[in-house]
Amino acid sequence: MAVRVKQTVLDIAYKHFKEFGLPLDIEYKSYTGIVGAKEALSPPSVKRSFKAWKYLLHALKLKHPDLGKKPEPVPAPKPAPKAKEAPAPAPSSKAAPAEKKSED
């Protein structure tokens, strides 16, 4: 039996999208394949409440903006500071003396 109350349909869709991690640009056929035909919203429910699947997706974007955002990756931890070692000898700034060529 189809559900007619717009908010109820929207809540069911939100629950499914959140639970299964579905993208907001998914087609209805793919949605039913992932969620399961028995649990998914029926086409008459969507049609009576929102006229079309695309309008339901748009309503989800407006009412629940957290669905469209992907969680930001956690930055990698900074490496631990190394124990101080004896400093390497600094290279000398003097150039080695050039050898003179003898002319014969």
pLDDT at 61 over 70: yes
User: For the chain, how many helices (H) and strands (E)?
Assistant: 4, 0
- CA gap 45, 38 in Å, rounded: 13
Output the pTM of the full model: 0.63
Distance CA 32, CA 49 (A): 18
pLDDT bin (cut points 50, 70, 90) of residue 11 is: very high
Cβ atoms of 10 and 57 within 8 Å: the answer is no
Mean per-residue pLDDT, 17-30: 92
Q: Which two tokens stand for residue 94?
A: 């003097």
pLDDT tens figures, 66-76: 886 666 666 76
Residue 31 above 90 pLDDT?
A: yes
Annotated domain spans of the chain: 6-63
